[in-house]
Amino acid sequence: MSAGEEPGTPEAVSAEPVSTEPATAEPATAAPGTAEPGIRDRIDSGYGALSPREQRAADFILDHLDDLAVVTATEIAEQSGVSKATVSRLFRRLGFTDAQEVRDQARASRNRGVPVGPTSASSDLAPHAAAEQRNLQRMLDGLADGRLADAARLVADARRVVVVGFRNSYPVAMHLRQQLVQVRDDVRLAPQPGQSVGEELVGLGPGDVVVLVGFRRRPAGFAGVVRSLAARSVPVVLVGDASARAADVAVRLECPVDNPSPFDSYAAAMSLAALLASSVLAEHPRTGRTRVGDVTGLYADLAELE
């Protein structure tokens, strides 16, 4: 900070000279075949070459990464106590064309499931409710062509069913398995905690079914699981958001998870799990209801429920 400059005030006096030379900070670059580095990586790799005022703006950005999809360069300047010119120069040094490119990258990250967005709490829950209603309606609209019945028929008639879910998809897979095991025999969940998935899939064939739950931010090996199952002619019911696309699946059930908050919402996904389990029960109602009754009776015998 220069003499006479007050902390937190825009630099109207004794501003640093604007250099017309190429930026000295070297932003991180992506390896071939990988995504472009985010602004955090670019700041980290070039922080030492930034001027004190650029570092001040960079510090503010690092503390407010979740807001980058909506914040403007003017707001960054005001909040960090530097000029808008300094913020613009910082973005150029980091390899961005302008603030719009920064926002676009932040929004693209959000579309991939990265939790970015407003971090301040709001008492207005209407946007959240509207988003949930849109997700539910879009999910239901996608089932209008009969694909839910197709998926239910596959699951109901299979010799064995394995429900697979990784990372954030695992809770949905676990809930779906818990519903399906109420109405039919031999329903497994994979992978087991702390285990790999290969031993759960070995021995499966055309008479079995895998329900593969794959919402965005899937692990790198997800496509390999799909290919491996296709090579063994195992029918796959794929459950996921719009980014979950694979050619080698029998049925694809799409379920949006978009939400105005930083995190994805799986409310519609849980609703889809209930619909699928109910449709499986409807395929063989007598045997399904008999199993439900047997399970309920065993709950009573073991005093497992209140």
Instruction: Return residue ranges of the chain for CATH 3.40.50.10490.
Output: 126-302
In degrees rounded to 5, what are phi and psi of residue 187?
Answer: -120, 120
pLDDT digits (tens, 9 = 90+) for 265-306: 888 899 999 999 999 999 988 887 887 787 888 878 788 877
- Report the DSSP beta bridge partners of residue 161: 187, 209
DSSP state of 250: S
Cβ atoms within 10 Å, residue 8? 11
Helices 39-46, 52-63: inter-axial angle, 10-degree rounding: 150
- From CA 177, how far away is CA 209, in angstroms rounded? 13
Instruction: Return residue ranges of the chain for CATH 1.10.10.10.
Output: 39-111
Domain boundaries 39-111, corresponding CATH code: 1.10.10.10
Query: pTM here?
Result: 0.62
pLDDT digits (tens, 9 = 90+) for 171-225: 999 999 999 998 899 999 998 887 788 888 888 999 999 999 988 878 888 888 9
Beta-sheet strand order (sheet of 251-254): 187-190, 161-165, 209-213, 236-240, 251-254
The CATH architecture annotation of domain 126-302 reads: 3-Layer(aba) Sandwich (3.40)
